[in-house]
């Protein structure tokens, strides 16, 4: 991991970025930028040694934000409840560009995007050159479009300011801090149906927090101008059906699947470029899910 660096993390209290902030704060000066609408989030981060900066990237001034960070990790994302495209595009796309321009002296800028930028293609593995589309419209109306727009703004700003940049299209992150498989476990516990696409199985590349934390330094080293885009996920492709089945083995809770065309559908990433940079992931999906349940809901294992 990085040491003795001044690092800015946006969205530091999120499910994905919090474990990363925790690890980086051990040996670096870490700043966290977010709106901090929940006081508990700020308290959690400050207890870890993160210096918190309240700021809305959609409309807040960056004047009070230091501009001498060695590295910037942009994990901030806004999905407004009322599907406000103007606000979400300002926060996710314009905000990312403003941040990169402000931090133009950084050695590298890591922008966390999403596999949700890809057009649905069934079970075909998607390389970084695959067609883009409004993949997540049914559940998060602004999400895919905001992510695509943010990538374009970040690429432009990286060129204009000559900042080495890497855009990482993240698959399904999970771990002791939760994630999509954990939400499925909670739905199983509540007896709620889990929506899946009729074109089964519904396959993704879940990546454990241990692996994505381990990848960050190498991804930053791979940053360049023009920005490099890399798919980011677990080396094992796993279906929702299989991971829910394994959660059933661990807990005795039965999943109930409900097929619907409005579900996301498979999103399998071609990880060839990632493997060239960082190698294959090390945490097997079964081990990762078991550890997740042990950390968050150990009482369910006794079932």
Interval 208-238: pLDDT, tens: 999 999 999 999 999 999 999 999 999 999 9
Q: Are 128 and 229 in contact (CB under 8 A)?
A: yes
* pLDDT of 170 higher than 70: yes
Three-state DSSP state, 136: coil
Checking if the pLDDT of 244 tops 80, the result is yes
Mean pLDDT taken over the chain: 97
Beta-sheet pairing, 228-232 with 165-170: parallel
User: What is residue 303's predicted lDDT score, i.e. its pLDDT?
Assistant: 59
Q: Which domains does the chain have, with CATH numbers?
A: 6-173+205-232 (3.40.50.720), 175-204+235-268+277-301 (3.90.25.10)
Mean pLDDT of all residues in 121-144: 94
Q: 139 falls in which pLDDT band (50, 70, 90)? A: confident
Q: What is the pLDDT of residues 48-95, one digit of tens each?
A: 999 999 999 999 999 999 999 999 999 999 999 899 999 999 999 999
pLDDT for 229 equals 98
Residues 6 or more apart whose Cβ sits within 8 Å of residue 129: none
Would the pLDDT of 202 be above 80? yes
pLDDT at 81: 84
Pick from 124, 141, 120: nearest CA to 132: 120
| Nearest residue to 302 via CA among 246, 243, 253, 237 | 253
What single-letter DSSP state applies at residue 236?
S
The pair of three-digit structure tokens given for residue 4, joined into one six-digit string:
């003795």
Alpha helices (H) in the chain, listed in sequence order: 17-24, 39-47, 85-89, 95-102, 143-161, 180-190, 209-221, 240-251, 272-278, 285-296, 298-301
**Whether pLDDT at 279 is above 90:** yes
* Whether pLDDT at 302 is above 80: no
Q: What is the pLDDT of residue 1?
A: 79
Contact criterion met (CB below 8 Å) for 103 and 69: yes
Cβ(270)–Cβ(169) below 8 Å: no
> How far apart are the C-alpha atoms of 148 and 17, rounded to whole Å?
20
Each residue's pLDDT tens digit, 141-157: 999 999 999 999 999 99
The Cα 181–Cα 243 span in angstroms is 7
For the chain, percent of residues with pLDDT exceeding 90? 96
């Amino acid at each position: 991991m990085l040491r003795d660096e001044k690092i800015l993390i946006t969205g530091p209290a999120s499910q994905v970025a919090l474990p990363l902030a925790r690890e980086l704060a051990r040996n670096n000066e870490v700043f966290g930028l977010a709106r901090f609408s929940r006081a508990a989030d700020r308290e959690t981060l400050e207890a870890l040694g993160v210096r918190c900066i309240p700021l809305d990237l959609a409309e807040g001034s960056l004047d009070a934000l230091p501009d001498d960070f060695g590295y910037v990790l942009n994990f901030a994302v806004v999905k407004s409840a009322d599907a406000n495209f103007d606000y979400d595009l300002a926060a996710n796309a314009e905000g990312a560009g403003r941040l990169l321009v402000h931090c133009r002296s950084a050695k590298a800028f890591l922008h966390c995007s999403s596999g949700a930028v890809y057009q649905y293609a069934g079970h075909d593995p998607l390389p970084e050159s695959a067609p883009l589309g409004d993949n997540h419209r049914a559940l998060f109306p602004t999400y895919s479009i905001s992510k695509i727009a943010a990538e374009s703004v970040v690429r432009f700003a990286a060129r204009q300011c000559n900042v080495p940049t890497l855009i990482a299209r993240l698959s399904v992150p999970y771990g002791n801090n939760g994630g999509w498989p954990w939400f499925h476990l909670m739905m199983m516990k509540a007896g709620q149906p889990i929506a899946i696409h009729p074109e089964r199985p519904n396959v993704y590349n879940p990546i454990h927090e241990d692996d994505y934390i381990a990848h960050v330094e190498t991804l930053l080293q791979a940053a360049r101008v023009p920005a490099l885009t890399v798919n980011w996920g677990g080396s094992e492709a796993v279906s929702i059906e299989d991971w829910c089945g394994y959660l059933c083995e661990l807990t005795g809770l039965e999943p109930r699947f409900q097929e619907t065309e409005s579900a996301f559908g498979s999103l399998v990433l071609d990880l060839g470029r990632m493997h060239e940079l960082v190698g294959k992931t090390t945490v097997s999906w079964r081990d990762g899910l078991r550890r997740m349940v042990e950390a968050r809901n150990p009482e369910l294992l006794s079932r």
